[in-house]
């Protein structure tokens, strides 16, 4: 275990002006707060913050960050408070420690929601101070190094979270060594058999190629010396998880990998990178398709290097990464290198002062990307959407495309022109109607490739379809589409609400005016007139309440009498006579009477007509619903979210205002279809069926659709009592680790 005096000596070795008293006070306070707490390994708990601080000292971080590492668990796991930390160590350190503290108490339904909210809080803290991220990653690294001491169930959960979030986040921040170590620890915990196989084969290859590696290093050094190029040649070995994932991705054996052993050529200046490249390419044969220039086109995490593969000595394939020493520091330490160093007048790198240690990190492309990501995802999405979109941004490799004016746009691999449009600007994405790729008109779902020139065609009248969410791969595009869809739906409800109120005002001999509604906002507990119109359109605010608020002297009309619709043996419903309105928009079910009912009365008809639910689930009590007149057949009931309603958009005369009127004591079940995306492993179906059964649901039919090697979509026809019952089942399914997503069929 690292000792306190050793930690102080290590910090003073690279920063002689470090506040030794601050570090000692932080250690003593942490020691007192954690007291007799123990780690799962049996070690004193204080060993953990000491080791986290030691990792950060290896990165040469400032004394405030080291002190925060020593204190990072005090607010969360001890009686310490933020006010006390501020008083003893200052607000700067207090802010860092609080940023590292998980959400203590939240009314969250699932572990996934809790994880999402904690991650959301962490990213917000990171955008205020990047040192929060560095401490958090060091904390996770030490936890992974000691993962073998925790219970198997906890070990699996922590390893999955590391593989899903923290390792790719470290990679996106340019901290490649940290990403690789996190991935290897997680890989060993999640698939120990595969890890051992790869490690054994690596040992054999290492022994067999020992002489060859030395020979290649000498050959490269000699060739560079002959051409007057000063270069440092270093061999490197691919990590077990990186090897395994590449074998899985490309479906090849370990022997077929050509980059298990690679070489880094470190030079002084960027121009020397191209000098080395010229020597290498004129001396040995180049492997086609294996050249990438990240010096002229850096990655979003600031990574710069030239990659090439040659057929070198003994006819062996040799992968080379050519970079300067500065590029190498950025490649290995990423945002930490930006945060710690500044260039002096003579070009040497020196430790910056504690007050200035964020100046260069804020200029980092990786940090700018993170800030933009958080700002974008905070606009209205719930925590689980936030986590989903962040994972999309973290996991994908990149493709580089160009606008017609030559602007470079970096996108996730697999991106479409819709992703490209949103990357240029949100307004461009929202108004996109088509595209040209390299001068040819192509579908919007076309997968973009490196070097494509993309020209987006726009129309001011366009609104992004909700279906676009299924073809985009970037979090920015998906978030913007959801936001635009919500705004479009709100606008539809607003138009419907305006029509409802216009007719309601007319019935009492009044004219609808916006100014009249503005005077009633405080009575209706609404912020704007648009909020009133939307609430009326959704059926959440009866028009009678708005009339009463606007004209208190007008007597409130008595609710109309209604009869209960009874269900016959054929599953059809009889309807009562009524008078009412017809609306075109989905979700136009109004509640002008302000009451609930005991049936499904349909307004606007004379005489009794048969009514049935739409196929494939239809609607359940609690859904907002709409009726569609089927000539000669009666009326079909749809939930307003049904995609089938699109076919009736051009027939407004067939839309009928309906509402639920089900007795609370009703014992009938209603059909609904859900889509469960689950991992493909033994026992998955049993767990899903158990949850449905325990919650009182009835499975009518199941259809399995294999979407990928690891995931299966299950189309499950259920019978439930109402919407609340359905949501309880969905919530229960989401709590299972084998379930990736649960959605309701939109048909």
pLDDT given for residue 350 in this prediction:
41
- In this structure, the number of other CB atoms found within 10 A of the CB of residue 260 comes to 20
The residue behind tokens 């890989």 is 187
d(CA 51, CA 9) in angstroms, rounded, equals: 14
The residue behind tokens 């190029």 is 229
Sequence ranges of the chain with CATH classification 3.10.20.30? 396-468
d(CA 295, CA 306) in angstroms, rounded, equals: 6
- Specify the fold of 670-744: Alpha-Beta Plaits (3.30.70)
Characterize 58-90 residue by residue with b for buried, 16 or more Cβ atoms within 10 angstroms of its Cβ, and e for exposed: ebbbbbbbbbbbbbbbbbeebebeeeebbeebe
Sequence ranges of the chain with CATH classification 1.10.3210.10? 4-185
Q: Catalytic annotation on 76?
A: yes
Cβ neighbourhood burial of 54 (10 Å; 0-12, 13-18, 19+): buried
pLDDT given for residue 662 in this prediction:
63
Q: Are the C-beta atoms of residues 334 and 173 closer than 8 Å to each other?
A: yes
Coil, helix or strand for 721?
A: coil
Q: What is the CATH number of domain 209-333?
A: 3.30.460.10
Characterize 513-545 residue by residue with b for buried, 16 or more Cβ atoms within 10 angstroms of its Cβ, and e for exposed: eeebbeebeeebebeebbbbbbbbbbbebbbbb
Identified catalytic residue from 6, 20, 62, 76? 76
Q: Catalytic annotation on 77?
A: yes
Assigned token pair, 193: 């058999």
pLDDT given for residue 354 in this prediction:
38
The residue behind tokens 């009666």 is 634
- In this structure, the number of other CB atoms found within 10 A of the CB of residue 332 comes to 14
Distances (CA, A) of 674 to 384, 538, 719: 19, 24, 11
pLDDT given for residue 401 in this prediction:
84
Q: From 1.10.10.10, 2.20.25.240, 2.60.40.10, 1.10.3210.10, which CATH number describes the 4-185 domain?
A: 1.10.3210.10
For residue 637, what are the β-bridge partners?
A: 613, 627
Query: What is the full DSSP assignment across 198-225?
Result: HHHHHHHHHHHTHHHHHHHHHHHHHHHH
pLDDT given for residue 261 in this prediction:
79
pLDDT given for residue 374 in this prediction:
61
Going by the DSSP 8-state scheme, the letter that residue 656 receives in this structure is E
pLDDT given for residue 87 in this prediction:
92
Global pTM value: 0.53
Query: What is the full DSSP assignment across 537-573?
Result: HHTSS-HHHHHHHH-TTSPPPPPPP-----B-TTS-B
The residue behind tokens 């449905």 is 692
d(CA 264, CA 307) in angstroms, rounded, equals: 9
Sequence ranges of the chain with CATH classification 3.30.460.10? 209-333
Q: What's the CATH superfamily of 396-468?
A: Beta-grasp domain (3.10.20.30)
Give the pLDDT means over successive 10-residue stretches in the chain (747 positions): 85 90 93 90 91 91 92 90 91 87 46 60 67 88 92 88 83 83 93 90 81 86 90 88 82 72 90 92 87 85 88 82 90 67 36 38 57 57 55 59 82 87 90 90 88 89 84 83 83 82 83 83 81 80 82 63 36 30 32 34 44 72 79 75 78 72 68 87 86 86 79 87 86 85 79
Identified catalytic residue from 51, 58, 63, 77? 77
């Amino acid at each position: 275990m690292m000792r306190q005096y050793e930690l102080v000596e290590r910090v003073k070795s690279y920063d002689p002006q470090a506040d030794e008293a601050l570090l000692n006070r932080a250690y003593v306070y942490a020691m007192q707060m954690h007291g007799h707490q123990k780690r799962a390994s049996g070690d004193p708990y204080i060993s953990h913050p000491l080791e986290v601080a030691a990792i950060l000292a290896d990165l040469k971080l400032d004394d405030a960050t080291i002190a925060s590492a020593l204190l990072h668990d005090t607010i969360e796991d001890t009686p310490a408070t933020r006010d006390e930390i501020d008083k003893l160590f200052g607000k700067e350190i207090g802010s860092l420690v609080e940023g590292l503290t998980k959400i203590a108490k939240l009314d969250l339904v699932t572990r996934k929601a809790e994880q999402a909210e904690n991650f959301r809080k962490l990213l917000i803290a990171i955008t205020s101070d990047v040192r929060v991220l560095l401490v958090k990653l060091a904390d996770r690294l030490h936890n992974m190094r000691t993962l073998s001491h925790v219970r198997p169930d906890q070990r699996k959960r922590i390893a999955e979270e590391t593989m899903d979030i923290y390792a790719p986040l470290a990679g996106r921040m340019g901290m490649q060594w940290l990403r690789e170590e996190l991935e290897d620890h997680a890989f060993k915990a999640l698939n120990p058999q595969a890890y051992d196989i790869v490690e054994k084969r690596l040992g054999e290859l290492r022994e067999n190629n020992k002489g060859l590696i030395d020979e290649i290093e000498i050959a490269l050094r000699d060739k560079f010396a002959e051409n007057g190029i000063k270069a440092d040649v270093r061999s490197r070995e691919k990590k077990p998880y990186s090897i395994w994932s590449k074998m899985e991705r490309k479906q090849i054996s370990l022997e077929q990998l050509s980059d298990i052993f690679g070489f880094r050529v470190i030079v002084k200046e960027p121009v020397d990178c191209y000098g080395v490249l010229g020597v290498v390419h004129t001396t040995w044969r180049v492997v086609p398709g294996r050249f990438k220039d990240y010096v002229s086109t850096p990655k979003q995490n600031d990574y710069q290097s030239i990659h090439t593969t040659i057929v070198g000595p003994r006819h062996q394939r040799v992968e080379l990464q050519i970079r300067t020493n500065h590029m190498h520091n950025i490649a290995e330490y990423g945002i930490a290198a930006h945060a710690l160093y500044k260039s002096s007048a003579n070009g040497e790198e020196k430790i910056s002062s504690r007050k200035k240690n964020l100046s260069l990190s804020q200029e980092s492309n990786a940090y700018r990307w993170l800030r933009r990501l958080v700002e974008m995802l905070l606009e209205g999405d719930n925590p689980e959407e936030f986590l989903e979109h962040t994972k999309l941004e973290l996991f994908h490799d990149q493709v580089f495309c160009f606008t017609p004016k030559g602007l470079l746009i970096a996108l996730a691999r697999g991106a479409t022109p819709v992703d490209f449009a949103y990357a240029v600007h949100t307004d461009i994405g929202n108004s996109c109607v088509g595209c040209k790729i390299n001068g040819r008109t192509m579908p919007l779902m076309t997968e973009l490739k490196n070097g494509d020139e993309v020209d987006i065609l726009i129309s001011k009248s366009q609104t992004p379809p909700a279906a676009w969410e299924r073809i985009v791969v970037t979090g920015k595009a998906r978030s913007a589409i959801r936001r635009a869809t919500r705004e479009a739906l709100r606008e539809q409800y607003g138009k419907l609400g305006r029509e409802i109120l216009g007719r309601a005002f007319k019935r009492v001999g009044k004219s609808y005016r916006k100014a009249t509604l503005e005077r009633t906002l405080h009575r209706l507990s609404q912020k704007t007139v648009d909020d009133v119109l939307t609430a009326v359109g959704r059926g959440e605010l009866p028009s009678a309440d708005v009339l009463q608020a606007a004209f208190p002297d007008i007597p409130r009309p008595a609710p109309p009498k209604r009869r209960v619709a009874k269900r016959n043996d054929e599953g059809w419903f009889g309807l009562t006579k009524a008078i009412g309105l017809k609306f075109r928009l989905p979700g136009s079910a109004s509640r002008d009477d302000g009451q609930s009912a005991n049936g499904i009365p349909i307004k606007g008809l004379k005489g009794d007509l048969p009514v049935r639910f739409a196929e494939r689930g239809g609607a359940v009590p609690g859904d907002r619903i709409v009726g569609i007149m089927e000539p000669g057949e009666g009326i079909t009931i749809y939930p307003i979210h049904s995609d089938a309603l699109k076919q009736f958009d051009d027939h407004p005369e067939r839309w009928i205002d309906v509402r639920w009127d089900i007795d609370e004591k009703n014992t009938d079940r209603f059909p609904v279809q859900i889509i469960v995306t689950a991992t493909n492993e033994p026992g998955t179906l049993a767990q899903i069926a158990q949850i449905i059964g325990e919650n009182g649901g009835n499975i009518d039919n199941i259809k399995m659709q294999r979407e990928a090697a690891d995931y299966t979509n299950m189309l499950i026809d259920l019978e439930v009592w109402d919407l609340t019952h359905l949501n309880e089942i969905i919530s229960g399914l989401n709590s299972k680790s084998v379930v990736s997503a649960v959605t309701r069929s939109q048909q």
